[in-house]
């Protein structure tokens, strides 16, 4: 029984492929002789084969899609690069501030008191 389903699957795929090939050949035959008027610019009309025009339009769409995707990915990469540079600059500034704070001389508390530092103020009368 499993052999039957395998054969059915193979024949179905073969038949579908044959139908697609026959349709493609009929499509090419019916559209190969017709011409299309294409307007490029004022006074520049051109006649092209419909099949060639369709293929060129499809190819142009693919190229445009790739170009737009490349532009968006480049914009993302530029933004990412800018944010990384900003982050590195902030980290460098923070490290510089820490280094500067470490270089500052700290006072050691003296053992002798400052005169008058621990005396109580005179009460005013």
Rounded to two decimals, the pTM is 0.51
Q: Is 19 helix (H, G, I), strand (E, B) or coil?
A: helix
Kindly report, residue by residue over 98-121, the tens digit of the pLDDT.
998 888 876 666 666 666 666 666
Residue ranges for the chain with pLDDT beneath 70: 106-123, 125
For residue 72, the number of C-alpha atoms closer than 13 Å in the C-beta half-sphere is 5
């Amino acid at each position: 029984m499993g052999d039957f389903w395998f054969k059915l699957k193979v024949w179905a795929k073969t038949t579908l492929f044959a139908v697609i090939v026959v349709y493609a050949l009929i499509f090419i035959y019916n559209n190969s002789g017709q011409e299309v008027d294409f307007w490029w610019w004022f006074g520049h009309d051109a006649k092209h084969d419909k099949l060639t025009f369709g293929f060129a339009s499809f190819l142009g769409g693919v190229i445009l899609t790739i170009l737009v995707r490349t532009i968006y990915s480049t914009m993302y990469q530029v933004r990412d690069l800018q944010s990384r540079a900003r982050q590195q600059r902030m980290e460098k500034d923070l490290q510089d501030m820490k280094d500067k704070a470490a270089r500052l001389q700290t006072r050691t508390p003296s053992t002798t008191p400052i005169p008058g530092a621990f005396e109580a103020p005179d009460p005013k009368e």
